[in-house]
Amino acid sequence: MAAPGRQLEAQPFATSLFPMFVKLHGKAVLVVGAGSIGEPKIGALLDTGAHIRVIALEATERVREWSRAGQLALEERGFVPADMDSVFLAVIATSQRHLNEVAYAEAQKRNVLCNVVDVPEQCDFYYPALVKRGDLQIAISTSGQTPALARRLREQLEQQFAPSYADWVAELGATRRDILKSNLTREQKRELLMSLAARPAFEEMLAADSGQNEEGDAE
C-alpha cells in the first residue's frame, strides 16, 4: 500500500526473458566504443570464438593490445550505419547518448540483437552477473532492474561454488561420455550419472585431492 500522500509510480512494461547460452563461434559481433565502458564488454567476448569488430574514436591500451594480438579488429573512427550490416550481435558501449540511440536504431532496422550498456529499454539481451568455474557457468539476471542485487547474488554464489568445481565438472564430463558408451541400461546410466553429480561425490573428490596434496607435501 502506498504511503499517505504518495502516488504509485507507473511501472515500465516488463517482458519475460528467455534464458539461454548462445554460441558465438564464427559469428560477426560488433562493439561500438572501446573506452572504460566498452573494454570489459569486449573482454567478455574474447573467448567465444566470435569475429569481433570494434569501432571507436579512441580505445584503451588493453583493447589495442587485443587488436595487435589478432583477437579482434579495431577501427579507430566514428560509427556509420553500414557498420551494422551483416552483424549477428552488437554491443553499444559509449557515453554518448545520441550515438547510442543511432546505433541501436540501425541494429533494430537489421534485426541485429543489440545491447546498449546501462540502458535496459534499449537492450535485446543483458549481460548477466556470471559465476564461472571452468565449463560451469551460473548466470544471474534481474532483467536490468537491479544490477546491484545480481552482483551481490554472484558474490554469494562465488563463495558457495569453489574454484575446484571446474576440475569436478571436467571430470564429470569425461565420466559421462564413458558411461554413455557403456552397455548399462538407460535407467542404470541415469541413476549413475545422478549419483555422480550429487554433492557427496564432490566432497569425496575434494577429500581425495586433499589427501594427495598432503602426501605430496610430506615427500
Among 161, 186, 204, the domain-final residue is: 161
**Separation CA 39–CA 151 (nearest Å):** 19
Q: Residue 43: give its domain's CATH number.
A: 3.40.50.720
Task: Tell me whether residue 145 is in a domain.
Answer: yes
40, part of any domain: yes
Q: Of 103, 127, 151, which one is at a domain's C-terminal end?
A: 127
154 and 189 together in one domain: no
Are residues 123 and 32 part of one domain? yes
What percent of the chain clears pLDDT 90, i.e. is strictly above it?
58
The pLDDT of residue 64 is 98
* pLDDT at residue 13 in the model: 46
Question: Residue 148 sits in a domain of what CATH number?
Answer: 3.30.160
In a domain, 156, yes or no: yes
Supply the range of the domain harboring residue 173.
Answer: 165-212
143 within domain boundaries: yes
At 2-29, the pLDDT tens digits run: 444 434 343 444 568 888 889 999 999 9
With cut-offs at 50, 70 and 90, classify the pLDDT of residue 73.
Answer: very high
Considering the domain architecture, whether residues 45 and 122 belong to the same structural domain is answered as: yes
Write down the pLDDT at residue 2.
42
pLDDT of 113-150, one tens digit each? 999 998 989 999 988 888 888 888 888 988 777 888 98
Q: Is 116 a domain residue?
A: yes
pTM over 0.75: no
Verify that 152 and 171 share a domain, yes or no: no
The pLDDT mean for the chain works out to 87
Residue ending a domain, among 140, 161, 182, is 161
pLDDT at 198: 82
Q: Please check whether residues 77 and 35 belong to one and the same domain.
A: yes
The secondary structure of the chain in percent helix, strand, coil, rounded to multiples of 5, reads 45, 15, 40
With cell 504518495, the residue in question is 6
Q: Identify whether residues 195 and 118 lie together within a single domain.
A: no
- Distance in angstroms between the alpha carbons of the first and the last residue of the chain: 68
The Cα–Cα gap between 123 and 112 comes to: 11
Bridge-based pairing of strands 136-140 and 129-133 is antiparallel
Q: Are residues 194 and 174 located together in one domain of the fold? A: yes
Residue 170 has, within 13 A of its CA and on its CB side, a CA count of: 7
